[in-house]
Amino acid sequence: MKRILIFSTAYHPFVGGAEIAVKEITGRLTPKASAGEADFEFDMITLNLDSKQKPVEKIGNVTVYRIGAGNKLSKLFFPFQAFIKARNLHRKNRYDATWSIMASYSGFAAMFFKHHFKDVPFILTLQEGDPIPYIKRQVRFVYPLFKRIFTRADSIQAISNYLAGFAKDMGATCPVAVIPNGVDISLFAGTAPKPHDGVVLITTSRLVEKNGVEDVITAMSSLPENIKFIILGIGELEIKLKKQVHDRGLDLRIQFIGQVEHKNIPTYLAVSDIFIRPSLSEGMGNSFIEAMAAGVPVIATPVGGIPDFLKDKETGLFCDVKNPKSIADNVLLLTENSALKEHLIFNARALAIQKYDWNIIAERMKTEIFAKV
């Protein structure tokens, strides 16, 4: 039995790509031993983001310990409080490794732990979606300490080649494995999009600048009336984006769905014709793979980790960054060229199933990362 302690700034019920990845991977590495295989048990220290969650609970195969007061200062204190909590847990559980989800507040906590318990391997997962220059600006006052997260790690998993390059740029000398996030094939590939009148565009995105939702709304003004756009997600730009929709007279063509449980996203993909997210930056982007598995053709930008899986006119279409006309041109291309659309759907779905099934990803994490600690 190998016991692994996870540091993560957020966890269920507050989910993004990183949190989904942890749940999917740990859920597939059951605590019961199979013949000739190692088994694993996971604990996690995370923030009680709204102060309403249980301080300790079991979620899947992870025992979750929540700390913090749920206020704006909680993240700043998290590295120190998480280290103290981890030290106390280690005395009782004797962990075989620690695992930091992203090189952020959780990365500092894991690095502090590594400094005190040098014999415990430190695994770092890079899931960052923000632009790397932005990340570096955010940590500029503690930049030397931030770099030590990378240099003290014993093993790094990056979800894209882009983030693997980030690790090396930050001075990492340990092995860096590119193991992407995946998709629940049984959930997303089970239902193909249903025929309907008109054309429905969809995005599943946090409503923040980096996801380019504003550019899709602008593009909608130049697209035919029969094209609709549904937006799944919430975020800091929600009020601004809704005003943009109203000012452009698009209220009847663009619908804000709000936050949707991950398990319900396939229902919306099943009534959509094109997935679109013209990102300004992207570590990888689980949502793209989910759409591909569901048989919905993807329009994206060639930034960050997206080119790892999206090849223009092979598994999707590339539009230009911050270019609503390029978005509109690609939407029209897909609506007018059914042969191209079917070509993209076939190739993208095959790629998602063959390479990005969570079962495959979990097995890679087990053999390439966890089994080596």
| CATH code, domain carrying 58 | 3.40.50.2000
> Looking at residue 193, what is its pLDDT?
67
**Domain interval for residue 264:** 185-355
> Looking at residue 37, what is its pLDDT?
53
Task: Specify whether 263 is located in the same domain as 130.
Answer: no
Beta partners for residue 41, in sequence order:
3
CA distance 365 to 68: 30
Task: Specify whether 143 is located in the same domain as 271.
Answer: no
Task: Specify whether 267 is located in the same domain as 365.
Answer: no
Task: Specify whether 49 is located in the same domain as 177.
Answer: yes
CA distance 44 to 63: 6
Contact 298, 276 (CB under 8 A): yes
Task: Specify whether 88 is located in the same domain as 203.
Answer: no
In this predicted structure, the answer to whether residue 38 has a pLDDT above a threshold of 50 is no
Task: Specify whether 207 is located in the same domain as 243.
Answer: yes
Mean pLDDT of 49-78: 92
Report the number of distinct structural domains present in the chain.
2
In this predicted structure, the answer to whether residue 33 has a pLDDT above a threshold of 50 is no
Tokens representing 299 are 């329009």
Task: Specify whether 136 is located in the same domain as 231.
Answer: no
For the chain, the average pLDDT equals 94
DSSP run (H or E) holding 79: helix 74-93
Q: Using pLDDT thresholds of 50, 70 and 90, give the confidence band for residue 256.
A: very high
pTM of the model: 0.92
Task: Specify whether 158 is located in the same domain as 190.
Answer: no
Q: Using pLDDT thresholds of 50, 70 and 90, give the confidence band for residue 360.
A: very high
Task: Specify whether 108 is located in the same domain as 170.
Answer: yes
> Looking at residue 32, what is its pLDDT?
54
CA distance 296 to 71: 39
Task: Specify whether 192 is located in the same domain as 289.
Answer: yes
Angle at 291 between CA 285 and CA 293, to 5 degrees: 110
Which residue is listed with tokens 């295989």? 37
Which of 92, 20, 112 lies closest to 60 in space, CA to CA? 20
Tokens representing 363 are 């097995």
Tell me the pairing of strands 62-67 and 56-59: antiparallel
In this predicted structure, the answer to whether residue 166 has a pLDDT above a threshold of 80 is yes
Selected residue with higher pLDDT from 36 and 342:
342
Which residue is listed with tokens 């996690």? 44
Contact 113, 70 (CB under 8 A): no
Task: Specify whether 154 is located in the same domain as 13.
Answer: yes
Contact 279, 211 (CB under 8 A): yes
Angle at 142 between CA 141 and CA 145, to 5 degrees: 165
In this predicted structure, the answer to whether residue 152 has a pLDDT above a threshold of 80 is yes
- For 267-325, what is each residue's pLDDT tens digit? 999 999 999 999 999 999 999 999 999 999 999 999 999 999 999 999 999 999 999 99
Task: Specify whether 218 is located in the same domain as 335.
Answer: yes
Beta partners for residue 7, in sequence order:
45, 100
- For 186-214, what is each residue's pLDDT tens digit? 999 876 666 777 899 999 989 999 999 99
114-130 per-residue burial string, b: 16 or more CB within 10 A, e: under 16:
beebeebbbbbbbbbbb
